[in-house]
Amino acid sequence: MKKILKMTSILIISILGVNYTLAQEVNIYTSRHYDSDDALYSEFTAATGIKVNIISGSGNGLLERLKAEGKNSPADIFFTVDAGNLWRIQKEGLFRAINSDQIMNIVPVNLRGPNDEWVAIAKRARVIYYNPEIISPEQMQRISYEDLSDPDWKGKIAIRSSGNMYNQSLVASLISNHGVDMTEEWAKGLVSNFVRKPQGNDRAQIMAVANGEATLAIANSYYVGIMLSGRSGDAQLAAAKKVKIHFPNQNNRGTHINISGAGILKNAPNHENAVMFLEFLLSDRVQKYMVDLSYEYPVLESVKPHPSIASFGTDFKEDSTSVADYGKYNIDAVMLMDRAGWQ
Ligand SMILES: [Fe+2]
């Protein structure tokens, strides 16, 4: 006869009157990994007795691994960036609804996936970077994403390729608000305003504004925080000191928000531990720790972003378009960008 006694931290299996203690664990597949996260995981283990195993890789690589492992996957949690990537995992049928009142009370509905199968852990804005010596904050003030297709900006805008999920999600958010036809017209105008063929990552676009090659660049908010930290070298530090952030669409729906987020896998072998771990990520102290490293915005209202990113403004209006729409309209966005000639 086998009897299982579940406690918070350890599993005691009693077989024929003899107790065996099994260590508990939780397995996290993540495209987000900082060496310093290890200290955080040790604290979770100290508090709960649950060992944290991290399997890190690219979002795509981990998704392929999950699919290959199938029902036998040891993965409990998938933690990645961009709602579009979380949507792809959901579409494969790999997630399950997250059953935690605590998490649902913290994460607003617009920052969750359909059926509550994934939730935001941190937020990022996709903003416009500019050099205040070239264009004044007053001139920038009223500029929306929609305005970027205006011929006034011909040859002035830097943005990375349409293969990038951040851009696909931005375009999907415009489709959600304006429909495919209007967004396609907009994309054609935007493409005709590109200063160069899309190249490089978000930081390369910020560099293009700093060195005068472009007047405006679209990139995620946290990159300027990383660049200002000096973590990525003197050239990026110097460039970041030259630029400012403009939060578009303050007069209407607000600035485009995307997320770092996580879901619990359908076949998670350690389901309860996974719920506890997500609750841990959404606690005050851990939120503060994470956003101080990533320069993202916290999901918890009580937590403040890192002072370096907060210096660009914290009271901006956020677009409350559901991040689930970025997945829903992803294919439309990709096809539309292709038709618009966005390379
Ligand atoms: Fe990024």
pLDDT 10s digits, 19-56? 665 679 999 999 987 777 788 888 899 999 999 999 99
Rounded to 10 deg, the angle between the 37-48 and 284-294 helix axes is 170
Distance 203 CA to ligand 1 centre (A): 9
Could you give the number of structural domains in the chain?
A: 2
3-state secondary structure of 197: coil
Rounded to 10 deg, the angle between the 83-91 and 59-69 helix axes is 10
Distance 6 CA to ligand 1 centre (A): 39
Distance 116 CA to ligand 1 centre (A): 24
Distance 122 CA to ligand 1 centre (A): 12
**What is the rounded distance in angstroms from the CA atom of residue 283 to the CA atom of residue 329?**
32
Place of tokens 């949690």: 77
Residue 317 is assigned to a structural domain of this protein? no
**Which band of pLDDT confidence, cut at 50, 70 and 90, is reported for residue 8?**
very low
The amino acid present at 263, given as its one-letter code, is G
5 pLDDT higher than 50: no
Distance 71 CA to ligand 1 centre (A): 30
Distance 311 CA to ligand 1 centre (A): 20
- 112, 78: one domain: yes
Distance 165 CA to ligand 1 centre (A): 10
Cβ-in-10-Å burial (0-12, 13-18, 19+) of 6 comes to exposed
Distance 245 CA to ligand 1 centre (A): 16
Question: pLDDT averaged over the chain?
Answer: 93
The amino acid present at 269, given as its one-letter code, is P
Distance 204 CA to ligand 1 centre (A): 12
192: its two tokens: 């005709």
- 115, 134: one domain: no
Distance 169 CA to ligand 1 centre (A): 13
Mean pLDDT, to the nearest integer, of 289-316? Answer: 96
- 212, 267: one domain: no
- 208, 333: one domain: yes
- 244, 136: one domain: yes
- 281, 214: one domain: no
**What is the rounded distance in angstroms from the CA atom of residue 324 to the CA atom of residue 174?**
13
Distance 195 CA to ligand 1 centre (A): 22
Q: What was the pLDDT predicted at 233?
A: 97
- 331, 300: one domain: no
Q: What was the pLDDT predicted at 98?
A: 98
- pLDDT per residue as tens digits for the range 180-202: 999 999 999 999 999 999 999 99
- 196, 151: one domain: yes
9 pLDDT higher than 70: no
Mean pLDDT, to the nearest integer, of 274-287? Answer: 96
Distance 267 CA to ligand 1 centre (A): 28
Residue 316 is assigned to a structural domain of this protein? no
Distance 216 CA to ligand 1 centre (A): 19
End-to-end CA distance of the chain: 64
- 200, 329: one domain: yes
- 196, 246: one domain: yes
Mean pLDDT, to the nearest integer, of 303-310? Answer: 98
Residue 297's H or E segment, with its range, is: strand 297-298
Distance 220 CA to ligand 1 centre (A): 7
Question: Domain range spanning residue 224?
Answer: 125-256+322-339
Instruction: State phi, psi for 18 to the nearest 5 degrees.
Output: -105, 130
Q: Find the length of the chain.
A: 343
* Helix residue ranges, H only, 59-211: 59-69, 83-91, 101-106, 137-140, 165-178, 180-192, 202-210
For residue 1, the tally of other CB atoms under 10 A from its CB is: 6
Distance 14 CA to ligand 1 centre (A): 47
Q: What is the CATH number of the domain that holds 100?
A: 3.40.190.10
Give the residue among 174, 175, 226, 173 at the shortest CA–CA distance from 201.
226
Distance 85 CA to ligand 1 centre (A): 12
Give the residue among 212, 209, 213 at the shortest CA–CA distance from 245.
209
- 143, 284: one domain: no
- Distances, alpha carbon 59 to alpha carbons 234, 293, 304, in Å: 29, 19, 27
- 193, 205: one domain: yes
> Strand 50-56 relative to strand 77-81: parallel, antiparallel, unpaired?
unpaired
- pLDDT per residue as tens digits for the range 141-183: 999 999 999 999 999 999 999 999 999 999 999 999 999 999 9
**What is the rounded distance in angstroms from the CA atom of residue 17 to the CA atom of residue 205?**
66
- pLDDT per residue as tens digits for the range 63-121: 999 999 999 999 999 999 999 999 999 999 999 999 999 999 999 999 999 999 999 99
